[in-house]
Structure 1
Amino acid sequence: MTTITKDNITDSLLATVHPNGNSEAAQVIRENGFPTTKHEEYKFTNITKRIESKIQSFQQAKPLGLTQQDVSKAMIKDLDADVVVFNNGQFSAELSSLGEGYAVTNVTNSEAPFSIKDLYDDSYLALNKASFEKGVFIQIPKNKVLDKPVLLLNLVKANDGQLITPKLWIDCAENTEAVFIEQTVSQDEQAYLLNGSVEIKTASNSHIHYYRVQNQNNEALEVNNLLTDIHRDSTFTSFVLSLEGDMIRNNVTLNLLDSGCEGNMYGLYLLGGKTHVDNHTNVDHTKPHSESNELYKGVLADTSRGVFNGKIFVREDAQKTNAFQQNNNILLSDEATINTKPQLEIWADDVKCSHGCTTGQLDEEALFYLQARGIDKKQGKALLLYAFAGDVLEHLKIEAFKEYCIDLVQKKLGTNF
């Protein structure tokens, strides 16, 4: 265990690097340290400082003494799914309920099946690649359509281990279809750093959905990286619902590497208290005839803070590209803050691209209209906010999961706002 001081957080985190860890990733950390607000990509999210203030020491989190009952309690109501259980970030085969026709294996740090390069060197991504003990490799064979979603259930507890590093690779062969749902459940109210990474490859004519719910305890610190390589005639859809936590950073990268690709990114963040959520997205169009759609919406109350930074790259060879990006926000208090920055970088000339953002307050005239028809103010606000947020949820494919998210959103809007 290494005690943190403000002068040695880099050394403290480097001390968790696995002996057989990725040496290139460790070198990134040594050269760059961990980001502060002086780093452009973390200008509005000083998670390094927050870690220093909340966590007293670092070591790799150890598996908990979990039972099948703990898993059952954390399950999403009415969701019929295969379950891959992570115990404090490490795969637990005995607690998992796996389907047939695809492979789930443990992978040590020195056995990484592949590595997707992000658009920039991020020290937290590098830390994940260098420090995890055992990752999970899911392989879906050619022509396989999973008839159930796969729930990636991570049960976490600070305990004596403060650094939780789940690592997942998913390799989808040609003509495959699958839905993955990631959920992290806090087992106590203590602070921890969850530093996760998911890398996904989709071969030709694959159709993959990856959904994530962030509804942890109010002390949780989280950095997540989702990196994808998307090939010919494939579609990839990501969705993230962010509700609770102290500070959360989501990095999502979609690399559209061939013609006929489609990448979709949807996000909804409903923030109260002092919760801080930062969504950084990258879409890289490299070949002709590809499409991307991005819609993120946020509702912020109290002293919460949201950050959205969306980048779309259209390379010179990526003619006939369609790329659309939108970020909309509602602020419910004078102390709530949103920093939003949609970006387009286009080197091709035959494209259709647009981006935009809006920030405003609740429509008081619409609220007055509802009150005039017998709906009390609190319920009226919840209805208007749900109308604003609800269209993001319409992109969810699994009905039981969609109903679960709708219930979470309605409860959040009805009680916290």
Structure 2
Amino acid sequence: MSTLTQQDTFQALFAASPENFHSIRNSGKESFLNQGIPAVKAEEYKFTNISKKLDNALTNFSTALPFEVTPSQVKSALFEGFEGDVLVFANGAFLPELSSTIEGVEISKLSDKPETSLGSIAKASKDPFAALNQASFVDGIFISVPKKSQIERPILLLSFNKENLGQVIQPRVWIEVGDFAEVTFIDQSISLSDSAYFVNKVVEVKGGVNSQISYYRLQNEGKNTIEVSNIETDILKDAKFTSVNISLSGDMVRNNLSLNLLGSNSEGNMFGVYLLNGKTHVDNHTNVDHTIPHADSNELYKGILADQSRGVFNGKIFVRQDAQKTNAFQQNNNILLSEDAIVNTKPQLEIWADDVKCSHGCTVGQLDEEALFYLRARGLDKLSAKGLLLYAFAGEVLEKIEEESFHNHVVNLIQERLGSKF
């Protein structure tokens, strides 16, 4: 029997948890022990055997400790052209002394905000890793954007991670954005260790009426990183939430992203690119819940897989009985560059209303040989022609990134990987 099936495996994590948020910690622990780490037979983790991966990679399940990060490390981690504010983390712990003071935005440690409704959006009952985080996170960050605030500079959540006397890093982020407010977040992690470590992240976003929120995320950590993230948001009347997730590296990565459309004329957008090589495994599970009439959702994920990499896409759209006049679009497209690369894709619609416009689909294929021949006939070498076609394939998602410096940074990373930069 795997050690991950034994309840006492995680007692060190539970024992290290502070006494604050006592009630939600207990409910998280109860929920986790009821669910357990999912076995390979679990439907939601059918193609992602994370139990085996964790069992083989980690020797203990104690809490990873924060470590010293220098100002020069922060400076060197910023991408070219970035002009925004930075919130710095080390193994999930918020470091206010290295972070920006953002005018008009309230920022504090979660331990200083006991009234925060943690777990009310990313519910522990929905995923065992969300439950584990809720039961045993040490502290986190509270970010509040007041109503009618227009935060023009992007806010970078910059996380430095490494294995350090413990192997479970559990970031916890609570973001609330007031009515008629606008803000852009960029979420980026930096690996400072080649050792295997496990990141179990939970981000809850509460968007107010007519709020405009963009959340961009870059996953480009070390090749031995194991990560599960649960990002969930409530989207109210006339509000818009846009997520763009770029996955480039890691050992095994599981992204759970859920949007709850709770008001009329709300809009939820979910875009992603996963560009994988080696033996990297990335699993994107998305969930859009239409609960109210006159709401829109758009979803487009694209994958490029080489070598022995593996991609998983499972997208779910729920349209509740009262959610008439719903517009929902979902598409997953993939290109396989190797006979050993594998993708498992499963777009899903569950519709209980009768006056809706919904579509979903998926494709898996190889490069267009005619297009490749066309480019080579016009003077491009094979590598450049191939890279150009692949970049064009991914570009439909990349153009959704409206923050210029981050867009340019991601484009450079992808072009260098694809060999299309010339």
- TM-score of the aligned structures, taking structure 2 as reference length: 0.95
Q: Distance in 2 between matches of 1:44 and 1:381?
A: 29
Q: Distance in 2 between matches of 1:80 and 1:382?
A: 30
Instruction: Identify the residue that residue 176 of structure 1 maps to in structure 2.
Output: 181
Instruction: Identify the residue that residue 391 of structure 2 maps to in structure 1.
Output: 386
Pairing partner for 1:328 from 330, 333, 342:
333
Q: Distance in 2 between matches of 1:130 and 1:409?
A: 37
**Cα displacement (A) at 1:187:** 0.7
**Cα displacement (A) at 1:13:** 2.5
Q: Distance in 1 between matches of 2:6 and 2:94?
A: 28
**Cα displacement (A) at 1:112:** 6.0
Instruction: Identify the residue that residue 93 of structure 2 maps to in structure 1.
Output: 90
Instruction: Identify the residue that residue 9 of structure 2 maps to in structure 1.
Output: 12
**Cα displacement (A) at 1:32:** 1.7
Instruction: Identify the residue that residue 34 of structure 1 maps to in structure 2.
Output: 37
Q: Distance in 2 between matches of 1:376 and 1:260?
A: 48
Over the residues paired in the alignment, what is the CA RMSD in angstroms?
1.7
Q: Which amino acid aligns with 2:3?
A: K
Q: Distance in 2 between matches of 1:415 and 1:285?
A: 39
Pairing partner for 1:106 from 99, 105, 109:
109
Off by >6 Å, runs of 4+ in structure 1: none
Paired residues of 1:10 and 1:29 also in contact (CA < 8 A): no
Instruction: Identify the residue that residue 406 of structure 1 maps to in structure 2.
Output: 411
Q: Which amino acid aligns with 2:337?
A: L
Q: List aligned pairs for 1:286-297, cutoff 5 A.
A: 286-297=291-302
Structure 2: any 5+ residue segments left out of the alignment? none
Instruction: Identify the residue that residue 318 of structure 2 maps to in structure 1.
Output: 313
Q: Greater share of strand residues, 1 or 2?
A: 1
Structure 1 residues 224-264: Cα deviation after superposition (integer angstroms, max 9, x where no partner)? 01010110000000110000000000000000001010000
Q: Distance in 1 between matches of 2:187 and 2:316?
A: 24
Pairing partner for 1:65 from 52, 64, 68:
68
What's the secondary structure of 2:9's corresponding residue?
Answer: helix
Q: Distance in 2 between matches of 1:130 and 1:156?
A: 21
Q: Which amino acid aligns with 1:170?
A: I
**Cα displacement (A) at 1:108:** 2.5
Paired residues of 2:5 and 2:36 also in contact (CA < 8 A): no
Q: Which stretch shows the higher mean deviation, 104-113 or 313-322?
A: 104-113
Paired residues of 1:118 and 1:253 also in contact (CA < 8 A): no
Paired residues of 1:10 and 1:34 also in contact (CA < 8 A): no
Q: CA 1:351/1:119 → structure 2, altered by over 3 Å: closer, same or farther?
A: farther
Paired residues of 2:385 and 2:420 also in contact (CA < 8 A): no
Q: Distance in 2 between matches of 1:265 and 1:32?
A: 27
Structure 1 residues 371-411: Cα deviation after superposition (integer angstroms, max 9, x where no partner)? 12211111111001001111101111101110001001101
Paired residues of 1:9 and 1:52 also in contact (CA < 8 A): no
Q: Distance in 2 between matches of 1:137 and 1:342?
A: 34
Q: Which amino acid aligns with 1:130?
A: A
Structure 1 residues 67-108: Cα deviation after superposition (integer angstroms, max 9, x where no partner)? 111111111211111100011100000011122001001013
What's the secondary structure of 1:111's corresponding residue?
Answer: coil
Structure 1: any 5+ residue segments left out of the alignment? none
Pairing partner for 1:278 from 279, 283, 286:
283
Q: CA 1:209/1:7 → structure 2, altered by over 3 Å: closer, same or farther?
A: closer
Instruction: Identify the residue that residue 131 of structure 2 maps to in structure 1.
Output: 126
Q: Distance in 1 between matches of 2:35 and 2:113?
A: 23
Instruction: Identify the residue that residue 203 of structure 1 maps to in structure 2.
Output: 208
Paired residues of 2:3 and 2:9 also in contact (CA < 8 A): no
**Cα displacement (A) at 1:66:** 1.2
Correspondence 1:137 to 2:134:
no
Structure 1 residues 96-133: Cα deviation after superposition (integer angstroms, max 9, x where no partner)? 11220010010139926112144952111111111111
Q: Distance in 1 between matches of 2:88 and 2:136?
A: 20
Q: Distance in 2 between matches of 1:144 and 1:266?
A: 25
Q: CA 1:378/1:395 → structure 2, altered by over 3 Å: closer, same or farther?
A: same
Identity of aligned residues (%): 53
Correspondence 1:149 to 2:146:
no
- TM-score of the aligned structures, taking structure 1 as reference length: 0.96
Q: CA 1:78/1:119 → structure 2, altered by over 3 Å: closer, same or farther?
A: same
Paired residues of 2:4 and 2:51 also in contact (CA < 8 A): no
Q: CA 1:96/1:109 → structure 2, altered by over 3 Å: closer, same or farther?
A: closer
Paired residues of 1:256 and 1:263 also in contact (CA < 8 A): yes
Instruction: Identify the residue that residue 27 of structure 2 maps to in structure 1.
Output: 24
Q: Distance in 2 between matches of 1:153 and 1:117?
A: 22
Q: Distance in 2 between matches of 1:23 and 1:119?
A: 11
Structure 1 residues 167-226: Cα deviation after superposition (integer angstroms, max 9, x where no partner)? 000011111000000000001211100000100001101000001000000000000010
Q: Distance in 2 between matches of 1:112 and 1:408?
A: 41
Q: Distance in 1 between matches of 2:8 and 2:250?
A: 26
What's the secondary structure of 2:203's corresponding residue?
Answer: strand
Paired residues of 1:232 and 1:259 also in contact (CA < 8 A): yes
Structure 1 residues 1-59: Cα deviation after superposition (integer angstroms, max 9, x where no partner)? xxx96365543234302153511110112112110111100000011210111111121
Q: List aligned pairs for 1:42-81, cutoff 5 A.
A: 42-81=45-84
Q: Which amino acid aligns with 1:261?
A: S
Correspondence 1:164 to 2:161:
no
